[in-house]
Each structure stands twice: as C-alpha cells, then as structure tokens.
Amino acid sequence: MRIGSILENKIIEKRIAITPDIIKKYSSLGFEVCLSENYGSHLGIKDDEYLKLGAKVLQDENEILRSSDIVVQLGMLQDEKSSILKENQILIGALNPYDNKDRLEKLSKNKINIFSLELLPRITRAQSMDILSSQANLAGYKAVIESFSNFEKAIPMMMTAAGTIPAAKVLVVGAGVAGLQAIATAKRMGAIVFATDVRIASKEQVESLGGKFLLVEGSESLETEGGYAKEASDDFKKKQEELISETLKKIDIVICTALIPGKKAPLIIKDNMINNMQPGSVIYDLAAVQGGNTAFTEVDKIVEKNGVKIMGENNILNKLPVSASSLYAKNMFNFIENLFDKKNKKFNINYEDEIINKTLIK
C-alpha cells in the first residue's frame, strides 16, 4: 500500500501534509510513503530526512499520483493533476467543498473516493482529526501577533516614573477556536480583552480565559447542531451593531474571526463604526478570504481608513508553516488510521461511521 503527496503551489500554500515525524506511524500501518522531490525543503526539511525514515522521493509527480493508493494534500489538486487519479484511489485534504463543488463531483463520478476534512463532524472521536480546530488555533494566535506588531503603542499597562501607559483594549469578534486563542494570547500579553459571539454558550469560555463577554440584549443562541455559528436574524444584527459600535469607540485592536461555513463572511464592522474608532487602532480580519467582517477588508493588503489599519491575508498560516504542517500531518494520520482496517490491511469505507460518512464527497 502506498501513500503519496506532491508539492502544493508554494505561492499560496507553504504547509505540507506529511512531516518526517509521521513517517514511522504510516510505516507501522504497512504503508510506503512516496513524496515529490524537495517536498519540505522550503521548511528546512531535506529529502535525506525523509529517505532515512524509509520514505521514497520521486522527481515525477505524475508517477506519485498514478501509483499511490491514497493521495494526501492540503488543497485541491490542479485539474491536470487530478485527471491522473484513477478509479478506487483515495484523495484526502482540505478541499474547500463549497468553492470546488463541481470539480469534486466530477472526480466522485469517476469513482475516486474523496474526503474533505473541513466536513468532519464535531464529535469527541473526531477531535484528533479536526483540522479546522488545529489550524484555527494557530491562526488566532498569529492574528494577535500580527496586529500587535502593527500597533504603535505598548500592549500591557506600564507604570514608570515618567507616568503610566494604559493597557491596550482588544475586541475579539467571534469566539470559536480562533477567537478563543486570540483572547488567550492577547491576555497573556497584558491586554484588556472583550469578546462577542452569536453563540451564548461561548460566554463561559470567554470569561474562563479572562475576557469580558459582550452580550446582545435579548439574544438567543445561534448555534447549529454541529457547533458552528449560524446566520443571525435582522433584529439580532441591529442590536449587535449598536453594541459593537459603542464598544469600538474605546477599542485599540480588533480581531475578527466570524465565519459561517459555505457562506460569505458576515459584515459586522461597518464603515461608520470604523470612522468612530480612534486613529492608530488596528483591525485584523481573519475572515478576509470569505469577504471579510469589515467594510474595507482587502486580501493581502493593509487598508487605512480614518487612521485605522485594516489587515487581512489570504493564508495567515503561511507565516507559521512548520507548526501548522506538524498539526495538519497528525490530523491527517489520525483520519487515515480510522479509515484503515488493520486486521485485513485494507481501507474500509464504512458508511455507518459518522466521520467517514460526513467527510466523503458523494
């Protein structure tokens, strides 16, 4: 049995799906690992490191795709590469099923088994495979670091003989995995942190990290059965807008993390709100790729409006590719281990397994 992975387009994706520390685990399942030449060289991982652990390194990426029983990637393969895949092969990755629906359906019709890990159910057994959580955790941390580096004042309160510098005030919009990590990171660095979310259940989590939860008056929990946020009513949006608008007048840094799976990111911070913010404030918008949570967010640009810097990136994890790859590779292995029948040494696509059923593109 062979598991293969080829290079991503490094301009848009620096993470890799197989790291050296995971090779032995694949070998223990009876897999031969096959990677393209210079697979991890941009992360400081030489081919020799993989070879010493028993992996094969090939120059011909097409041969890797043709000969592998299972192909693991970060994103969707380019059309010319995916056309090489044949019946009964398995493709696993973060394949963006909402934007790549037609391409994935075409592959599925060709009897290729496709699993997109963004679709994992939020159940206890799937936690070790949950790429959204592992990657969002790092994104929330890095968003705080990036915004603080662009804020031209000190973050913690500092008492000196010359006077006192007040602590920076941070607002985190959206208290999912990324938002909670942003709260924890900002608190560790000495900021005063506020947070808001449409899910009332997140109030306790925010407060446990030392944040102050901004509760919309008369709100009800807007949470799906899978634990994700769902779209709010017009009445809720109006009340939330009033609360955030008033809060932003005293906020120095905003971290936006609000996303709805498969939909455009909700517009939460409007132009009039930004106009009322203090000049020198910074907004980091993690929802930039899905349209952004602010009126002025642009991907891979720092937009300045009324003295407020608004930041958003196509892939913030490209700034933490080593850590992000390590976690992603472990998530991937845990998913494959669940898919593999150790006794009979073959893959078992068991439709009664919720993890398999939910992630399989049908």
Residue 278 annotated in active site: no
Contact 155, 189 (CB under 8 A): yes
What burial class does residue 69 get, using C-beta atoms within 10 Å of its C-beta: 0-12 exposed, 13-18 middle, 19+ buried? Answer: middle
Contact 284, 258 (CB under 8 A): no
Residue 122 annotated in active site: yes
Question: DSSP labels for 113-168?
Answer: EEEEGGG----GGGGGG-HHHHHHHHHHHHHHHHHHHT--S-SS-EEETTEEEPPP
Contact 245, 276 (CB under 8 A): yes
* CA triple 18-24-28, angle to 5 deg: 120
From 41, 83, 127, 233, the catalytic residue: 127
Residue 130 annotated in active site: yes
From 108, 122, 188, 245, the catalytic residue: 122
From 133, 181, 219, 326, the catalytic residue: 133
Read off the tokens for 351.
Answer: 């439709």
From 130, 197, 252, 285, the catalytic residue: 130
From 228, 278, 323, 353, the catalytic residue: 228
Residue 39 annotated in active site: no
CA 109, CA 8: separation in Å to the nearest integer?
24
Contact 8, 74 (CB under 8 A): yes
CA 78, CA 160: separation in Å to the nearest integer?
57
Please provide the distance, in angstroms rounded to a whole number, between the alpha carbons at the two ends of the chain. 24
Annotated catalytic residues are: 122, 127, 130, 133, 228
